[in-house]
Amino acid sequence: MRPARVPLLVLGAAALLGLGGLVASRSARPAPAPVPAASPPPPVAAPVLASPASGYVGSARCAECHEDEHAAWRQDWHARALSAARPEWVVGDFANAHYQGTSSEAWMTRRDTRAFMRTRGASGALADYPVDWVVGGKRMQDPLTQLPDGRWQVLPVYFHVTGPGAWVDYSESKQGALTPEHPFFWTNWQRTAQHACLDCHVTGLDTRYDRASHQWRTGFADAGVACESCHGPGSRHVETQQARDIVQPARVAPAEGLAVCGQCHGPHRTLFPSLDAPHHFTPGERYEDRYQPLVVLLDEERSGDFFDDGRPRTSSFEYQALLQSRCHLKGGATCLTCHSAPHAAHGSNELPPPRPGAPVGAASCQGCHAKETAEGARHTHHASAGAPDCVACHMPPTVTGVLDTFADHALDVPVPGNTVKHGIPNACNACHTHAQASPASMDAALARWWPRAKARQARRLRLADALAVKTARDSRPALEQVVLDTHEAPSLRGAAARILAQRFSRDAVPVLVTALASAPDAGLRSEVVAALAATHVPGALAGVVPLLDDPSLWVRQAAALALAGAGDARGTQALEALARAPASEGLPLPHIALGQLALRQGDFTTGTRRLERALDLQPYNTGVLVLLADAYARQGDIRRARERLEETLRFEPQNRGARRRLNLLRGAPGH
């Protein structure tokens, strides 16, 4: 969030669980064409592992008492979320395979039992990089290599398992041409697994970065999503063997059970930095105590991972989709309503095994919708074999993930009208693809067969009119209705609040103030506070002051940042308190804001000290690194200024500001 007059220089959050998109593979199995000689490769050594986060014991200890569950889990893909690159786990073709893309090229080979990928590094020189780990393998397998500084980098091309079996570069298709200056070039920070992958692909992650030596150390209890990812750290339970000392997701409160799955099945902002292992989410906690889901917006920019009606269009956003479903909002459904545990008997995707002859979707839905399931064709108005499956109409495969499609977990009725007006895909045309089946004709058929569907469709029509960029000029009434609708998903209300402030500023304030007074959800409160701050309207933050004592740390921080940014001393005092208190001292944002305020007041000693503390917590924050470089340069400390700029380029080689400043410093006294 960005309060008025105190821009926060935090690293923007991204969709960390996948870089979806479509690409045409040019993989070939014959031996590669001759290539220029490679430069000396990085040292080939076993990946260095540090200790796991405190309290984690590893799945092998769990197996001592839970042998059957452990054996069943080993057969599930959760166990293969990350695997050592041993031959039995590597599914990609490394038998002299070759891939040629627009901006990437790779040759895959084996030496004894080790797999290698020859490709161009940041300097443009070819080198052979050992594949040390592989991510996944059910649909797509991503190879990782460990660089000499301890970073685990995602190599440029991945193996598409569920297709014809081919190497693909789906990052290129989504991001465009990937030169070494591009954030998503494979050697850069956005492709560092410690930042983008491991939090959800290992158990008990503890990643550390030494600012002096520029070295990474990474530890975890298990590669893959193991027992303690869902049941919590097991050290206490191992000692006592008491049920109260371990988490059973099916027996905790529904919101806490949902959080167990939501921690990974939906990109999010983290309250504390990713390097702060003691403050990572653990099962049994509330989701909102650690995370805020990314919905529609990515920081202040529009995310490409959502349709204009607020539904996720990209896989791995199942949590965001379910939160806005009527099944969740009215029926209290969670992931565990339909899915079983990875170690329990299940069919595809952790769904309970269907009864003989029963559609897969009906097996999940009939518990709550027995009447509709029993009606069969009388409800569906379709006679084809797949039509009685609830999933076909209410969870259509309109969500993309790399080269595959996935079910839409927003669990809504089809809305062909949004296809006509906004180009949003609908369930009807996912099956009816012939020329006569236009979205308009599907909309007319829906009106004839399910007259009551119009009331359900109105919600998505309103959301699209509110959120879509093409209708932005006339979107104020729809946005205001979404923000004030207490029956709407809080996550969508929060996104609408931010967009309302962006588009209509001063006119947005009365609606935002009203929404803040009736926002029981902590995530919604913090989003409305950020929206009010973004309007820059004098007096808009009057109702924010009481939130300095809010039960939610997210909300207290948002209120303090907003008020301090507006020049209110109460906000600055609250930031000071957050920066001192043991429970919140690890938050980077209060230190950053206080550092900026001190620099503006000419207090460089305090300002640099505050910002250095923020970097201890979040060393990859390039905005803070550049700000510190400027502060040191103004004090004549050219050595430190140069060091901070060089560190900026380690994380963001394409940072033009850092490069420009370094060029200027070359002629400065003391260089």
pLDDT for residue 429 is more than 70: yes
Quote the CA–CA distance of 126 and 187 in Å, as a whole number: 13
Find the range with the poorest average confidence among 135-139, 200-204, 386-390, 441-445: 386-390
pLDDT for 391:
87
Average pLDDT, stretch 484-503?
97
Name every residue whose Cβ is closer than 8 Å to that of residue 69 and which is 6 or more positions away in sequence.
62, 227, 343
User: What are the structure tokens assigned to 614, written together?
Assistant: 């923020």
Taking residues 595-622, what's their average pLDDT?
A: 97
Percent share of the chain, pLDDT over 70: 90
pLDDT tens digits for range 293-344: 999 999 889 999 999 999 999 999 999 999 999 999 999 999 999 999 999 8
User: Which strand (E) or helix (H) includes residue 633?
Assistant: helix 622-634
Pairing relationship of beta strands 158-160 and 140-146 according to DSSP bridges: antiparallel
Please tell me the least confidently modeled range out of 21-35, 186-200, 523-537: 21-35
Instruction: Using alpha carbons only, give the angle 26, 28, 30 rounded to the nearest 5 degrees.
Output: 155
The pLDDT value recorded for residue 23 is 28
The arithmetic mean of pLDDT across residues 610-633, rounded, is 97
How high is the pLDDT of residue 119?
A: 96
* 146-151, Cβ contacts within 8 angstroms, sequence gap of 24 or more: 146/45, 146/47, 146/48, 147/42, 147/187, 148/42, 148/43, 149/214, 149/215, 149/216, 150/48, 150/215, 150/216, 150/217, 150/218, 151/192, 151/193, 151/194, 151/216
Which contiguous run of DSSP H or E holds residue 298? strand 297-298
H helical segments located in 485-603: 490-504, 509-517, 522-535, 553-565, 569-580, 588-600
**Confidence grade of residue 3 (pLDDT, cut at 50, 70, 90):** very low
> If residue 100 lies in a helix (H) or strand (E), which one and from where to where?
strand 97-100
Mean pLDDT of the chain: 89
Q: Tell me the three state secondary structure of residue 78.
A: helix
Quote the radius of gyration of the chain (alpha carbons, Å).
26
Q: DSSP code of 546?
A: G
Which pLDDT value is given to residue 426?
Answer: 92
Per-residue pLDDT tens digits for 450-467: 888 899 999 999 999 999
**Averaged pLDDT, 403-431:** 92
Residue 18's pLDDT band (boundaries 50, 70, 90)? very low
- Is residue 669 scored above 80 in pLDDT? no
Q: Contact at 8 Å (CB) between 350 and 356? A: no
Per-domain residue ranges of the chain: 49-246, 251-411, 414-449, 472-665
* Token pair 């979205």: residue: 439
Report pLDDT digits (tens) over 105-147.
Answer: 999 999 999 999 999 999 999 999 999 999 998 899 999 999 9
Q: Are 225 and 203 in contact (CB under 8 A)?
A: yes
Give the Cα separation of 35 and 84 in Å (integer): 29
Predicted local confidence at residue 134, as pLDDT: 97
Residue given tokens 């379709």 in the structure block: 382
How high is the pLDDT of residue 469? 96
| Mean pLDDT confidence for 537-558 | 97
Rounded Cα–Cα distance for residues 506 and 536 (Å): 8
What confidence category does residue 377 fall into, taking pLDDT thresholds of 50, 70 and 90?
confident
- The residues pairing with 217 across neighbouring beta strands, listed in sequence order, are 208
**What is the residue type of 221?**
A
Count the helices and strands in the chain (H runs, E runs): 30, 21
Query: What would the 3-class secondary structure string for 218-250 be?
Result: EECCEECCCHHHHHCCCHHHHHHCCHHHCCCCC
CB 364 within 8 A of CB 381: no
Q: Is residue 614 classed as helix, strand or coil in its secondary structure? A: helix
- Residue ranges of E strands in 147-239: 152-154, 158-160, 166-168, 202-203, 206-210, 215-219, 222-223
Residue 565 CA neighbour count, 13 Å, CB half:
29
Q: Residue 1 pLDDT more than 80?
A: no
Range with the poorest average pLDDT among 41-45, 369-373, 484-488, 551-555: 41-45
What is the spatial distance between Cα 88 and Cα 449, in angstroms, rounded to a whole number? Answer: 52
pLDDT at 13 over 60: no
Three-state DSSP state, 27? coil
For residue 211, what are the CA distances in angstroms to 277, 617, 627, 631?
17, 11, 17, 19
Cβ(217)–Cβ(50) below 8 Å: yes
Give the CA distances from residue 455 to residues 381, 450, 460, 476, 486, in Å, rounded to whole numbers and listed in that order. Answer: 19, 10, 10, 21, 17
Euclidean distance between CA atoms 411 and 328, whole angstroms: 9
Residue 359, pLDDT > 90, answer no
- Residue 366 has what pLDDT? 82
d(CA 162, CA 200): 22
Q: Which two tokens stand for residue 294?
A: 């990314």
361 in Cβ contact with 395 (< 8 Å): yes
Tell me which residue of 451, 478, 444 sits closest to 462, measured CA to CA.
Answer: 478
| Residues 569, 10 contacting (CB under 8 angstroms) | no
Estimate the crossing angle of helix 588-600 against helix 604-617, to 10 degrees: 160
Query: What mean pLDDT do residues 443-450 have?
Result: 90
Predicted pLDDT at 355 = 67
Q: Looking at the predicted structure, is the pLDDT value of residue 29 above 70? A: no
Distance between CA atoms of 382 and 550, rounded to whole angstroms?
Answer: 52
Show Cβ contacts of residue 660 under 8 Å, excluding neighbours closer than 6 positions.
none
pLDDT in tens, 162-211: 878 899 998 887 788 888 988 899 999 999 999 989 999 999 999 999 99
What does the alpha-carbon distance between residue 75 and residue 134 come to, in Å, rounded to a whole number? 17
The tens digit of pLDDT for each residue in 554-600 reads: 999 999 999 999 999 999 999 999 999 999 999 999 999 999 999 99
| Per-residue model confidence (pLDDT) at position 539 | 94
Find how far residue 164's CA is from the centre of its chain.
Answer: 28
Which pair of structure tokens corresponds to residue 536?
A: 């820059």
Let me know if domain 472-665 sits in CATH 1.10.150.20. no
Q: What is the pLDDT of residue 170?
A: 80
pLDDT at residue 46 above 70? Answer: no
Residue 489, classed as helix, strand or coil, is: coil
Most confident range (mean pLDDT) of 29-33, 157-161, 569-573 is 569-573
Sort strands 49-50 and 215-219 into parallel, antiparallel or unpaired.
parallel
- 595/72 Cα distance (integer angstroms): 52
pLDDT at 433: 87
